[in-house]
Structure 1
Amino acid sequence: MFGFDTLLALLLGVVYGLLKGVLFPGIPATLSLVLVLPILIFLSPAEAAAAVIGLTTTAIFTGDAGSVMVRVPGTPASAAYTEEIHEVGRTRSPAFALGLSTTAATVGGLISILFLVLGSLGLAQVAKLFSSVENTWVVLMGVISGIFGAPSLLKGILGFAFGMLLGTVGVDPSFGTPRFTFNNPYLLGGIEFIVALIALFGVSEVLYALHAFPLHKTQGQAQPSFDLRRLLRTFFLEAPLTVWQERWLLLRSSLIGVFIGLMPGAGSDTAAWMSSNFVRLRRNHKPEQVALAGAAGSDSTIAGDWIPTLALGIPGDTMTTVVLGLFMALGITPGPALFKDQLGLVFQIYLAFFLSAVVFRPLIGFLAVILVSRITQIPRHLLLSAVMSLCIVGAYAINRNPDDLFLLPTLGLFGFLLRKSGFTLGPIVLGLVLGPLLEQNVTMSLIKAGGNLMAFFNRPMAAALALIDVVLVITLLHLRRREARAKPVSDLAGRYEE
């Protein structure tokens, strides 16, 4: 029975996720969950599950608040469309950008809940067909779409290669040999992804803002006034109308998220990159479309990740890995027996997802808008100082390693120089996210096959996915060539009109 205690646990998890997403951008949702595990372990299974669901569903989508305010993604998933949603917030309003994200996340969450309820056991059977070989082709699909989604194909390839290079620093997980460490003990553990994320987006944004708009030129500027009625109209009317106009894009992105969630080892960040990159492939795409697709893809993955976790006991991502460990500590063993022996708990999990998506998410999203609107009224020099302070605190809080504070300005300065050189940070972060995953799946497949490359084509599902990747490359090359031919014509027409 979904009682008052369970509802209270869900509400507290939602509030905790809100505070984490808005006030501490850059701190991953997984770390937020780990910090409260000592408390959750003393709750009942239903209460613990409700608190986790409230935390995860809220922390993922409120991670966009940092992107809107100061171009600092609150989660790795938000990094996939940080530049676009930040531009929407700057050109339209923060309320519109967060309303767009909240509406897309709500609809995407509802679609994934539908799949979770109707097909937890049936859809999870699809995941059994995927081995490291199939995962290789799916990850490669995300890499291809990310590279071609960059404005320049060459810069997209170079950016991904650099990101993958950063991701391979440390000890080789397959053979245990150090790589690119230069005999530095600090680098044996690799470059912490969250630290790199904070540096590339947060520190570089502060440097870019100081370079583009020196503080002495913005002193004394009037700050926008707080208008509650305008915020309500923008958040609950204008943003949902925009989402409705892009309903087919929303549906496609949500289905991509559910599909990614079914894959063990994937997660919301992979779905966000794939969904947003498919939009970037359009010739005349808008920032609103990229942000909408990314938000829907990442949030529809949350319930999708729980499908293999509940039905097979296989975690869909890092977050559900922690959840799986929590369930085991509480005496719950996910798998087919869970649906037979504890069906009541399963339905309480379904209800917690529904309440979080339909009831709490819009309210929490609007509270995030109010917080962001208040924060943006802070004088710019104080806001940049606060952002830099949060970057330093967030980078140190990950591992409590002082060496991370030396890496922070180095990568931040490099991200600033890349941005000044016309590079987008998306492919670099994509290399950090998918590069190690691609390497791991390729290495594992070759070890199991004894080095036989035909192992990537022998299985029917692998051959089908390989064919999809080839078709995707050919299609994208054709679109690039057609766009290059059309550009001189459009430039000539523009000059003629002038």
Structure 2
Amino acid sequence: MQIVTDILGNVFALGPIAAMLGASILGVFIGALPGLNPVMAIALLLPLTYSMEPLIALGMVAGIYNGSMYGGAIPAILLRIPGTPAAIATTFDGYPMAQQGQAARALKIACWSSAIGGAASAIALMTIGPILARATLAFGPAEYFWIAMFGMASIGVLVGRDAAKGLMAAVLGLLLGTVGLDQLSGVPRFTFGEPWLLGGLDLIVILVGLYALPPVIALAEDADLKGLSAADLKLESVKVPWSEVRGMVPTWLRSSLIGIGVGILPGAGGNIAAFLSYNATKSASKDPESFGKGNPLGVAAAECGNNSDNAASMIPALTLGIPGNVVAALVLGALLIHGLQPGPQLFHQNPGLVGGFMLQMLLTSLLILAVGGAAATRIFAQVQRLPGVLLVPTILVLMVVGVYVINGRPVDLWVMFAAGVAGYFLEKVEVPLAPIVLGLILGPMAEQSVRRALLISRGDVTELVTRPLSAVIAVTTVALILWPLVRAAMRRRAKGVR
């Protein structure tokens, strides 16, 4: 009981409260600016935390993390430009809702869903974190390989109208993921003698190009000189009926569980959680055809899924010292800066600090309701009132500045423009872009995992399917890939009967 009292007293002191509030506001703005991301912000913040108290530093990390994850939904909904990689799935239905004059409604749903997902993730971290962390010990390289394959297959098959195009897009992402040094042997691959390619293609650069440039080109083509009116945006007194809120509860529950499950798997992330949550909601819907055309459940699933990954990714980081994602790795760095060793003993040696950080993850998730509701809906939604011809140069400047500051390399700008032009023409032939990004993310993970599994088994391929967990995931993946063929055969048979 004394520990709980100490935690509450330390967290609700003036310094940590101010740090959480200020960082949450900053996080929303960072997430809302295309090209910027929480990883960049937290990495820049870490050197400044040397002189801070641990809970103030960790409170700032929690605020920026949770705030930016919601902030990424703002440009995703208004401009179809995901502010963070985890907001890609939010564009599927968020942007169509904005085009239909429901931008404020979509932002409000995203705000609620982000807060609920983040709060659920923080509660999981506080209650069942150590138990869930132990479960990850059962996963070896073979399991991680099949998890990566399942993620790519699910997106390739379920996103877009043509499963074959989706799978081809995933393969293209896999090819892009092979560029750079081989992580196991150190041999350069597809670098063409260019030193800047040794580190591989930067995900943020490709992401900004694929998802930011095509809509900019479309805006330039439309040559909109008027923009939308305030009436079209419907920003005033936007209320979501209680019946609709009640209908979102199953989606929130499902997406929270998926996000928490993905979060505790090292190497996964909010983007995977968002995609899987979106696909699960679409599969469970009685009207799956409405997804991608402005279904509010699509926004709720994506935002709840990517935010419920946040605190869950800290579970293996705090209990095992294994970061669940890049942000979790930065949190480990923040702990080490203050002389704290992450791992199983952290909970016993520093219960007050760990408990305080867990509570901060919960509080900053709930702060989204205040920060997001006040700032995002009334300020950022106004972006759509600008004429399209003004948005084009504005977005281009943000893209160029955001991409250039990542590595400080002019060549990244050319990569961004090349990815954007490719994305523009791929959309023209109805090839989905999401599988490309997921292939780029999961490809290296799948390759390294399968090679490690074969090294451990001394080249025995059966090791990939003989372990119980890997066998279950493998069968599920194959079934998912074959499902479109089975469904098409059933439809042809039904037409033949008629």
Q: Would you call these one fold, judging by a TM-score over 0.5?
A: yes
> Residue 259 of structure 1 corresponds to which residue in structure 2?
261
For residues 170-219 of structure 1, the C-alpha deviation after alignment (integer angstroms, 9 at most, x for no partner) is 222122222222233332222111111111111121112223x1x2xx32
- Conserved 8 A contact 2:97-2:106: yes
Correspondent of 1:168 among 170, 178, 193: 178
> Residue 86 of structure 1 corresponds to which residue in structure 2?
95
Q: TM-score, normalised by structure 2?
A: 0.91
Structure 2 residue 56 is the aligned partner of structure 1 residue 38: no
Report the AA paired with residue 339 of structure 2: G
Correspondent of 1:432 among 417, 422, 440: 440
Question: For structure 1, which segment, 154-163 or 355-364, has the greater mean C-alpha deviation from structure 2 after superposition?
Answer: 355-364
Report the AA paired with residue 466 of structure 2: N
Structure 2 residue 199 is the aligned partner of structure 1 residue 199: no
Task: Give distance in 2, aligned partners of 1:99 and 1:488.
Answer: 47
* Identity in percent: 32
The alpha-carbon deviation at position 484 of structure 1 amounts to 6.6
- Conserved 8 A contact 2:21-2:367: no
Question: For structure 1, which segment, 126-135 or 472-481, has the greater mean C-alpha deviation from structure 2 after superposition?
Answer: 472-481
| Structure 2 counterparts to residues 36-185 of structure 1, below 5 A | 36-149=45-158, 150-185=160-195
Report the AA paired with residue 374 of structure 1: Q
Report the AA paired with residue 28 of structure 2: L
Task: Give distance in 2, aligned partners of 1:388 and 1:463.
Answer: 47
Structure 2 residue 244 is the aligned partner of structure 1 residue 245: no
Correspondent of 1:231 among 214, 235, 238: 235
Structure 2 residue 426 is the aligned partner of structure 1 residue 418: yes
Task: Give distance in 2, aligned partners of 1:239 and 1:56.
Answer: 30
Distance 1:107-1:118 versus aligned 2 partners, 3 A rule:
same
Distance 1:62-1:465 versus aligned 2 partners, 3 A rule:
same
The alpha-carbon deviation at position 117 of structure 1 amounts to 1.5
> Residue 379 of structure 1 corresponds to which residue in structure 2?
387
- Conserved 8 A contact 2:157-2:480: no
- Conserved 8 A contact 2:214-2:424: yes
Task: Give distance in 1, aligned partners of 2:492 and 2:380.
Answer: 40
- Conserved 8 A contact 2:75-2:81: yes
Question: For structure 1, which segment, 86-95 or 407-416, has the greater mean C-alpha deviation from structure 2 after superposition?
Answer: 86-95
The alpha-carbon deviation at position 241 of structure 1 amounts to 5.2
Aligned-partner SS, 1:73: coil
For residues 341-367 of structure 1, the C-alpha deviation after alignment (integer angstroms, 9 at most, x for no partner) is 221112212221222122444433431
Aligned-partner SS, 2:36: coil
The alpha-carbon deviation at position 115 of structure 1 amounts to 1.4
Unaligned 5+ residue runs, structure 1? 493-498
Structure 2 residue 360 is the aligned partner of structure 1 residue 352: yes
> Residue 336 of structure 1 corresponds to which residue in structure 2?
344
> Residue 404 of structure 2 corresponds to which residue in structure 1?
396
CA RMSD between the two structures: 2.4
Task: Give distance in 2, aligned partners of 1:26 and 1:365.
Answer: 23
Report the AA paired with residue 346 of structure 1: V
Distance 1:457-1:227 versus aligned 2 partners, 3 A rule:
closer
Report the AA paired with residue 32 of structure 1: A
Distance 1:448-1:222 versus aligned 2 partners, 3 A rule:
closer
- Conserved 8 A contact 1:100-1:239: no
Report the AA paired with residue 78 of structure 2: M
- Conserved 8 A contact 1:267-1:301: yes
Correspondent of 1:277 among 276, 279, 293: 279
For residues 112-168 of structure 1, the C-alpha deviation after alignment (integer angstroms, 9 at most, x for no partner) is 222111112112111111122111111221112111113101111111111221121
- Conserved 8 A contact 2:54-2:338: yes
For residues 55-84 of structure 1, the C-alpha deviation after alignment (integer angstroms, 9 at most, x for no partner) is 101101110111122211111111233232
> Residue 372 of structure 2 corresponds to which residue in structure 1?
364
Distance 1:114-1:425 versus aligned 2 partners, 3 A rule:
same
The alpha-carbon deviation at position 240 of structure 1 amounts to 7.0
> Residue 18 of structure 1 corresponds to which residue in structure 2?
28
The alpha-carbon deviation at position 222 of structure 1 amounts to 6.0
> Residue 290 of structure 1 corresponds to which residue in structure 2?
298
- Conserved 8 A contact 1:226-1:373: no
Q: TM-score, normalised by structure 1?
A: 0.91
The alpha-carbon deviation at position 280 of structure 1 amounts to 4.4
Correspondent of 1:448 among 425, 442, 456: 456
Aligned-partner SS, 2:410: coil
Question: For structure 1, which segment, 303-312 or 280-289, has the greater mean C-alpha deviation from structure 2 after superposition?
Answer: 280-289
Question: For structure 1, which segment, 141-150 or 359-368, has the greater mean C-alpha deviation from structure 2 after superposition?
Answer: 359-368
| Structure 2 counterparts to residues 213-232 of structure 1, below 5 A | 213=222, 215=223, 218-219=224-225, 221=226, 223-225=228-230, 231=235
Question: For structure 1, which segment, 95-104 or 274-283, has the greater mean C-alpha deviation from structure 2 after superposition?
Answer: 274-283
Task: Give distance in 1, aligned partners of 2:27 and 2:322.
Answer: 25
Task: Give distance in 1, aligned partners of 2:416 and 2:117.
Answer: 34
Unaligned 5+ residue runs, structure 2? 1-9
Task: Give distance in 2, aligned partners of 1:10 and 1:483.
Answer: 54
Report the AA paired with residue 270 of structure 2: S
